[in-house]
Each structure stands twice: as structure tokens, then as C-alpha cells.
Amino acid sequence: MGTTPVYHFPYPEAMDAADGPFALETLARAIETEVARIWTDAKNVDYLMSSRPMLRQRRNAAFSLTNATDMVLPMDTTDVNTLGSPRPAAWYLITWGVSFDPHATGHRGNHLRINNTPHLSSVIDPPALGTSTYITTCKGRLLLVYLNPADTVTLAIYQNSGASLAVRTSPQADQAHITIIHVAGPLPVGFPP
């Protein structure tokens, strides 16, 4: 088996015996090991921001979502962008989340869209109907995905509380956000800075 030059991900070569399942398992294990290493590094934000190209955007301004509506939430603040433009074709780790103001009824949800196609979603039910102090936080999941330079990544949200519902903007930790971290592939031009 051959390996890639930077991350040493294995791949079958023409002279290797045909064993598709073994080759895919070997590749999956190598990717999982590298993602686990990067995710461990992510706990140290300063290290992550200096060692990995990334983009982190959030929603800072007030935003209200009409009842029973599914729409893209526009981000208005960029905290860091070391991915450059255009972003290189590569593997990325994406996290996201959103919090809604308190309301007693209905579901809240979010889903990550790539090129306007939903990928992963989170739906939350309020735990105790009739409790108007319940703040709903829909945390996204972790998604490993290959992105091309022209691919778009957006966060769509949904709620059916029976009324318009605001997305929380305070404290900053509750703000809707998307974080895209470069995992493998060509580095952006000029990185590291």
C-alpha cells in the first residue's frame, strides 16, 4: 500500500492484491486517528488557531424566526478566518450550534447545509411544556467533509413554537455559530502566517 505524503493516509496501489474492504478500513482508521488528534488539539484554542487553518463565524445581531419556518441563518461576525479565499479543496471538520430564546412549546432545530443540501440536523423538544423559562440550545454535530473551493456551508434553523422566536445573541457563548477547521489536504496560500 502507498501512503499520502503529508498525513500518510494509506491507499491501494496497482500492484496490491485486490482487497477493497481492507483498504477502506485502513483508510478510515487513519482518518479517524488524524481527526481525533486534531479534535484533541481543538481543546487548546490558541494552539488550534495558530496551527490549523480555520473559519469561525457567528450571529451577533438580533434575528427572529417566524413560526414553522425553515431558513438559512445569515452569520454577521467573523472571529477568525485563516482559510483564505478561495478556500482550498480539502477535508474539513465542521461544528455548529444555535440557541433560541425561552418558549414553552414546540420543537427547535438546525441543520448544516452544503450547497443548500441538508446534511446533519439536530431537533430538540422542550423538556417541560408550560415552562416559559426554557432556553433551547441545538448543538450541531461534528461533520468530516470534503469541500471544494466553490462549496457553500450554511446553517439553517427551524422552530414551531406557535409564534416568532428569537435566536439568542447574548451571552456570546449562546450565539449561533459555524466553525470550519482544515483537517487534511493542501494548505491555504500563506498558511501558516
Q: Letter for the amino acid at 33? A: T
Name residue 69's beta-bridge partners. 159
**pLDDT for the residue numbered 73:** 92
**pLDDT for the residue numbered 47:** 56
Domains and CATH numbers, the chain: 2-41 (no CATH), 45-184 (2.60.120.40)
Distance CA 52, CA 5 (A): 18
**pLDDT for the residue numbered 41:** 60
Rg (CA), the chain: 20
Average of per-residue pLDDT across 151-155? 91
**pLDDT per position as a tens digit, 4-20:** 776 677 777 888 877 87
**pLDDT per position as a tens digit, 63-101:** 998 988 889 999 999 988 888 778 889 888 888 888 888
Average pLDDT of the chain? 79
Is pLDDT of 131 > 50?
no
pTM: 0.68
Grid cell of 131 as nine digits: 415552562
Confidence of residue 140 (pLDDT cuts 50, 70, 90): low
DSSP the chain: -EE-TTT--EE--TTS---HHHHHHHHHHHHHHHHHHHHHHTTSHHHHHHHS-EEEEE--S-EEE-TTEEEE----EEEEE-S-SSPPSEEEEEEEEEEE---SSS-EEEEEEETTEEEEEEEE--SSTT-TTPPEEEE---EEEEE-TT--EEEEEEE-SSS-EEEP-SSGGGS-EEEEEEEESPPPTT---
Best-predicted range by mean pLDDT (32-41, 134-143, 153-162): 153-162
Would you state the torsion angle of the CA atoms of residues 94, 143, 134, 132, taken in this order, to the nearest 10 degrees?
90
